[in-house]
A = this chain, B = another copy of it.
Amino acid sequence: MVNEKVGRAANPGKRTRLPAAERRAQILTVARDLFVTQGFEQASMRRIADAAGITPTAIYDHFADKEALLTAIAADFFDGLVAAMTVPPDAATDPLDLLRQLMINYVRYGLAHPNEYRLVFMTSLSRFVPTLGHRGLPCAGEVPEDVVQKTVKAMQSFGILQTGIERLVAAGLLRADDPEGFADSVWAMGHGIVSLVITKGDSNFTPIDRWIDTSIGILMDGMRPR
C-alpha cells in the first residue's frame, strides 16, 4: 500500500506547488467537473480540494467562498451562451430563421450545461439577483462592480434575442403589438423547456427536437401579423 488514496495528489509528503493563476484554473476545472457530475450541494469543498490535491482551506486563498467558485464557472457559461447565440446575421437566409436558430441554440446550450444553467437561471443566489432596475439594468453604485459586469453579460444574451425580434418587427415580419413582451415570452418558452428537462428528465416529454420545433412553430405563427 504505497498510494492508499487515489484521487489525492500522488505524493502526500511532497505536494506540488503552483503559481496562483494555474492553481486557480485547476481548482475551477475540478470544481466544474464535480459540480456537473455530483451537483452543487454534493460537491463539498473538501472533495474539491481532494481532487485538486490540496487542503480545503487553500481554496480560500483563490476564491472567497464556495459560491464564488460557481460564480467564476458561471462567467464562462455566460460567455459560451452569448457566443452560442451570436449567429452571423447571414442576410441571405430567411430572417425568421435567425429567430428560430436563436432559440434552438439557447435550448441546446442550456441542456448541454445543465448544472451551470440551473445555477444562473434556476436558483436565486444573491449575486445573481442584485438590486436591479427595470429590465436588469444595473443601478450604478448599489452593486459591486464584478457582479454588475456579470449581470450585464447575463442580460447580453437576452439583448441578442430582443434586438433580433425588434428587427423582425421593424421588417414587418412580426406583429408590432408588444415587442418587449414577445422577447420575454420567447425566452419564457425556451427557458421553460430547458428547465423542465433539467429537473424532470427528457423522458417525460415530447422528444426534445420535436418539442423545440413545435414550440418555435407556435411562436412564429403566434407572432406573425394576422
Task: Give A residues with C-beta under 8 Å from B.
Answer: 121-124, 129, 132-136, 177-178, 180-182, 184-185, 187-193, 195-196, 198-201, 203-206, 210-211, 214-215, 217-224, 226
Contacts and interface: CB of A to CB of B under 8 A. Distances in A.
Given A181-B214, A184-B211, A218-B182, A199 B136 contact: no
Contacts of A185: 189, 211, 214-215, 218
Nearest to A204: B136
A59 to B, nearest CB: 21
What copy number does this chain have within its complex?
Answer: 2
Most-contacted residue by chain B among A177, A187, A221 (CB, 10 A): A221
15 contacts: A121-B199, A124-B198, A129-B201, A132-B203, A136-B200, A177-B214, A177-B217, A178-B214, A180-B206, A181-B214, A182-B214, A185-B218, A191-B195, A191-B196, A218-B218
A210 B183 CA distance: 13
